[in-house]
Structure 1
Amino acid sequence: MPASLASTSLKIAVALVLLGIAAVFSVTIGTRSVPWTEIRTALGGQTETIGSAAVAVRLPRTALAPLAGGALGVAGDVMQGINRNPLADPWILGINRGAALFVVTGIAFFDLSGPAAYLWVGVAGAGAAAIFVYTIGALGRDGPTPLKLTLAGTATSITASSSLIAVVLPRNDIAGNV
């Protein structure tokens, strides 16, 4: 076995062991610590005790956490690959602020409420910000270069932040919800 393959295999094995340890901590430690006996009963499908019920609630969260983390990692790699910039991320490219601006504007002016509405309006805002940044970054010679995309994203992020503050400041009723 080549040295690089052995090194990679060792790193994967260590990562999987650490993931397993984190999963055990995620299930056992929380507002209420749960002993192993209650974990076994919860894994058997029984939720008569408070500890077993806590484990039953924690198990889906623990199972979905690596999937969500992996999806975020892939999304980051795709963003960096498309922009050809290892520093590209949603903050630098203005995507997070675009999403926040759409949600806050929806709350302030369209009486938006509820997690599902926030989610979909935030996704629309992120998409609109990404399209805007790419359009601005593609203007001029040479098309969308990493530098132009980064500068357009930073300017968009700053503008969206300022706009967000301008929406929230006069509205004390929504300042606590944001």
Structure 2
Amino acid sequence: MTQTRTTRRGRTPIVFVATATLLVASAALSLAIGARALSLADIWNGLTGSDPVASAVIWQMRFPRTLLGILVGAALGAAGVLAQAVTRNPLADPGLLGISSGAAVSIVAGSAFLGIGGGAGRMALAVVGAALATLVVFAFASRSPEGLSPVSMTLAGMAITACLGAVVSAIVLLDAESMDQYRFWQVGSLGLPDPQLLAIGAGVALAGAVLAIAISGSLGALALGDDTASALGVKVGRTRVLAGLAVVLLSGMAVSLAGPIGFIGLIIPHAARAIVGNDVRRTLALSALLGPLLLTVADIIGRVVVRPAELQVGVVTAVIGTPVFIWLTRRMRTKKGS
């Protein structure tokens, strides 16, 4: 065991460099691939402005979309690590716990009934909705006979997600304008409706990242149990509240910009732990790289498989994530049975 940990620590810098390199490569492919393919020369001419057509395609369409994929992927990957660490639930994920659905229903309701369709108001609605959904899930799970167990939280989250998903569908069906605006967003898309939101989202994500970094050391102790963590000097209640706030900020921001994209927060933390071990700080950092890598690759796949049309990125991540979720569930049952 000690030798395995030492090996993982020794290869950690190589892993981070390799992942960062792959992320840069996927970002370059994201700029090149689309309804109109661009060569490396076209990309360079577009970036420098010497080709007006390529420049418009890159700077007005693909560059903001690529940045959005990186921002949302990093946020969802980090939120998944925090959610799984604070709940000690390997199936915890902003989507499965109802957090993403809470943000989604808040945005749709705010647009349909309050006329809040963009800007900082949309981001605020997402964060408030995510926070309320988190409180409801915890309240329902705590009233189960098992208490706040992984199973009760997963079941409560799935129930709340289904309920809120029905509410979103009812709103967009009753309001034709909302339906036109959110029919693609609801599936999960990187087609940014308001480029100004990208800067606001980066600020919200930065606040969530600062919180995550600040409590990352304490989250490792929580894995040992509340009593052990308290004996080690960790303020358990404070750590959980701050972790929940970070998850709400990160996932709320991601939903407001790209819609409720599922499975990124579930898959990425498991992949990161398989590579660098269970240390929360290393897992958090690697997930912030693997998340955008997976999301940009999924977006590229969505542009290619049905070209010249486009498959929404949320559909691609669902196709990838569903078998992984089934495998994780079976693995948990096997461990519990043994």
Fold similarity call, TM over 0.5: yes
Could you say which residue in structure 2 is the equivalent of 1:124? Answer: 128
Mapped partners of 2:80, 2:97: distance in 1: 12
Could you say which residue in structure 2 is the equivalent of 1:49? Answer: 52
| Percent identity over paired residues | 34
Could you say which residue in structure 2 is the equivalent of 1:73? Answer: 77
Native 8 Å contact 1:32 1:51 kept in 2: no
Mapped partners of 1:116, 1:165: distance in 2: 24
In structure 1, list runs of 5 or more residues that go unmatched.
none
Partner secondary structure for residue 32 of structure 1:
coil
Native 8 Å contact 2:46 2:53 kept in 1: no
Native 8 Å contact 2:141 2:153 kept in 1: yes
- Indicate the larger mover: 137-146 or 16-25: 137-146
Mapped partners of 1:173, 1:53: distance in 2: 28
TM-score, with normalisation over the residues of structure 2?
0.43
| Cα offsets for 1:34-64 (capped at 9, x unmatched) | 3434444455x44553224434444465456
Could you say which residue in structure 1 is the equivalent of 2:246? Answer: none
Native 8 Å contact 2:144 2:152 kept in 1: no
Could you say which residue in structure 1 is the equivalent of 2:87? Answer: 83
Query: Once the 2 structures are TM-superposed, how far is the Cα of residue 68 of structure 1 from its aligned partner?
Result: 3.7
Residues 1:106 and 2:110 aligned together: yes
Query: Once the 2 structures are TM-superposed, how far is the Cα of residue 3 of structure 1 from its aligned partner?
Result: 5.1
Query: Once the 2 structures are TM-superposed, how far is the Cα of residue 135 of structure 1 from its aligned partner?
Result: 2.5
Task: Decide which structure has the larger Cα Rg and report it.
Answer: 1
Native 8 Å contact 2:79 2:93 kept in 1: no
| Cα offsets for 1:59-113 (capped at 9, x unmatched) | 4654564454223211110011111111111222111222222223223332332
Mapped partners of 1:173, 1:63: distance in 2: 28
Mapped partners of 1:126, 1:79: distance in 2: 13
RMSD of aligned alpha carbons: 3.2
- Equivalent of residue 94 in structure 1, options 75, 98, 118: 98
Q: Which amino acid aligns with 2:142?
A: A
Query: Once the 2 structures are TM-superposed, how far is the Cα of residue 157 of structure 1 from its aligned partner?
Result: 1.8
TM-score, with normalisation over the residues of structure 1?
0.73
Q: 1:103 and 1:85, CA in 2 relative to 1: closer, same or farther beyond 3 A?
A: same
Native 8 Å contact 1:93 1:133 kept in 2: yes
Could you say which residue in structure 1 is the equivalent of 2:212? Answer: none
Could you say which residue in structure 2 is the equivalent of 1:133? Answer: 137
- Equivalent of residue 33 in structure 1, options 22, 37, 45: 37
Mapped partners of 1:157, 1:92: distance in 2: 7
Q: 1:5 and 1:153, CA in 2 relative to 1: closer, same or farther beyond 3 A?
A: closer
| Cα offsets for 1:135-178 (capped at 9, x unmatched) | 23234677522222222222222222333344444444543333
In structure 2, list runs of 5 or more residues that go unmatched.
1-5, 183-338
Native 8 Å contact 1:34 1:55 kept in 2: no
Mapped partners of 1:23, 1:8: distance in 2: 22
Native 8 Å contact 2:116 2:122 kept in 1: yes
Q: How many residues align?
A: 176
